[in-house]
Amino acid sequence: MDAFERLTRYGIKPSVQRMAIMEYLMTHRTHPTADEVYMALCGSMPTLSKTTVYNTLKLFVDQQAAQMLTIDEKNAHFDGDTSLHSHFLCRRCGRVHDLPYSGKKREARELLIEGHAVEEIHHYYKGICKECHEKENQN
């Protein structure tokens, strides 16, 4: 599925900026911040503004076409993969990694927990990633 199809599937009117931002999220699985998306795209799109990037990412999250991760207390990260999965934040390098979700594979909208209708599920892990851990052990 390309960016145009993804946007229309989620009821978002495609524009050049929106398609570029969605394409970036779909092809760069690095969980970028809004500033990182802006810096990556501004060279090829000189009319792109930070405000447009922030507003577009908010629209994507509101329409459930992307996830906003609050795993890092300093920055919001964005993920174009909306499937149910977990995230791991390395406390050394700051990178966010995808991890498989080990719980029941049910949609959040289907969950009722003690009478509460669950709308979102976030599974965050924090620690030292394997790359940083290997570097520490080499020294």
Tell me the pTM.
0.85
CATH fold for domain 83-139: Dna Ligase; domain 1 (3.30.1490)
Write out pLDDT tens, residues 106-123.
Answer: 555 567 788 888 777 788
3-state DSSP percent of the chain in helix, strand and coil, to 5:
35, 15, 45
pLDDT at 110: 67
Mean pLDDT of 82-107: 85
Q: Which two tokens stand for residue 23?
A: 């394409």
Give, as one character, the DSSP assignment of residue 108: G
CATH fold for domain 1-80: Arc Repressor Mutant, subunit A (1.10.10)
pLDDT at 109: 55
pLDDT at 114: 84
Q: List the one residue out of 28, 60, 24 whose CA is nearest residue 44.
A: 24
Q: Which residues contact 57 (CB under 8 A, 6 or more apart)?
A: 21, 34, 37, 66, 68, 78
Question: What phi and psi values does residue 88 have, to the nearest 5 degrees?
Answer: -125, 125
Alpha helices in 14-120 (DSSP H): 16-27, 34-41, 50-62
The ranges of the chain annotated as CATH 1.10.10.10 are 1-80
pLDDT at 13: 97
Write out pLDDT tens, residues 8-28.
Answer: 999 999 999 999 999 999 999
Mean pLDDT of 36-62: 96
The ranges of the chain annotated as CATH 3.30.1490 are 83-139
**116 vs 62 pLDDT, higher one:** 62
